[in-house]
Chains A and B, each alone.
Chain A
């Protein structure tokens, strides 16, 4: 069926099979490969996007369900050529190593900071507990998100 999805502020119209997963729509149909796939069981969060502003796992949403909705991916985090504060903070605080979980972590972090600009260590850890990282041990991810709240907005 034909769907129209606003992705990072731009409307995209495509024909998709009803069973097509949102993550495949984003990665393959739209060619935006910053959203990753790390599991099949809604466990890892590598495929995190914001759906109408809220972080969800795009491997567990059908593309047809995004029809008429807004999706934000890592490619849409920055605005007008400027990085989102969380992107700079992840680099500054060594919040990433292999980079595979990073888009999802940054999107969840950005979403958290919208509602809570100064989260505690515990609040950040709770917010990112649907996203797995195998490299960092999380400490620097937490520090990066907190710093982005402090410096950014």
Chain B
């Protein structure tokens, strides 16, 4: 199993890469970690005519604080996030998810931005990003300077299964995650049958508390139970301003189970997946609360 033939370029600067991407049109794909793209090409599920390899652009390899946000560059690998003290200190949901992305070798190569751009409904990162309210920074070589960078809220970015809202010629240059001020915590619970498996169900839960200990902000998003990663706005809304409690989390869990639309397949019937969504929502918020309260 081999990829079909394609044109390859490895630009030396981001501007060159963006130009090449613009010129390639529909045939162009950015090659970052390649841990989804190359297998898809080998299996014949993707056959881009032109790959623009950005692995030489070391300036995109960062995880840093930027204007109060956590900024993850296009070449930050999953392993970088998993090992990042900054992420560990500032975002419990990201920190919880990173070790469970695929397997250790894939994490050494695959990138967060690549996964976000891929919009695989069974991918973990977009649930995390939806829960924490991230934004995607899209760059292009558009003629007008003001069009060269767009900041897209993640909820708008995820347009469907394997479909994002990038325009032709745009690439994901960065993902920005708001940093919490005050007590916050998060969790990512993933039902997988083995390491390297896609999630049967994944639940990203994020919780920020106000000074009184009530819910300032709740984030909840689901993996593999809808045609795209699903932000459960109903649950988020019903929790806002409330006092966190098992009963509140159970309400959110019910909303999550109601909102999702899983398929019955080899990994179980829809009802099972809904039940796990509810279970993991309860567990996820319980863990997030503990973390927010500094209990563990």
Give the B-binding residues of A (Cβ under 8 A).
Answer: 1, 17-19, 21, 40-43, 45, 48, 51, 54-57, 59-62, 64-65, 67, 108, 126-131
Chain B 24-41, CB within 8 Å of chain A: the 1/0 string? 000000010011001101
Give the most central of A41, A43, A65, A128: most B CB within 10 Å. Answer: A65
In Å, the complex CA distance between A57 and B42 comes to 14
Instruction: List the 3 closest A-B pairs by CB distance, nearest first.
Output: A130-B103, A18-B8, A130-B105
* B41 → chain A closest CB, angstroms: 8
Write 17 A-B pairs (CB below 8 A) sorted by A numbering: A1-B8, A40-B42, A40-B43, A41-B43, A42-B39, A45-B103, A54-B79, A56-B105, A56-B108, A56-B109, A60-B39, A61-B109, A64-B8, A64-B53, A65-B10, A108-B104, A130-B104
Residue ranges of B at the interface with A (Cβ–Cβ < 8 Å): 1-8, 10, 31, 34-35, 38-39, 41-43, 51, 53, 55, 79, 102-106, 108-109, 195-196
Determine the chain A residues whose CB is within 8 A of the CB of B1 once the complex forms: 40
A45-B6 CB under 8 A given contacts A40-B1, A61-B34, A62-B38:
no
Report whether A18 and B7 are in contact in the complex, using a CB–CB cutoff of 8 Å. yes
Flag if B39 contacts A19 (CB, 8 Å). Answer: no
A21 to B72, CA, bound (A): 28
Contact of B104 among A42, A61, A127 (CB under 8 A): A127
Complex contacts, B10 vs chain A, CB 8 Å? 64-65, 67
CA distance in complex: A53, B6 (Å): 28
Find out whether the CB atom of B103 lies under 8 angstroms from the CB atom of A129: yes
**Closest chain B residue, CB of each to CB of A53:** B108
* Chain A min CB distance to B98 (Å): 13
- Contact residues in B for A61 (Cβ distance below 8 Å): 34, 38, 109
CA distance A1 to B51 in the complex (A): 14
Q: How far is the CB of B198 from chain A (nearest CB, A)?
A: 12
Give every chain A residue within 8 A of B3 (Cβ-Cβ).
19, 21
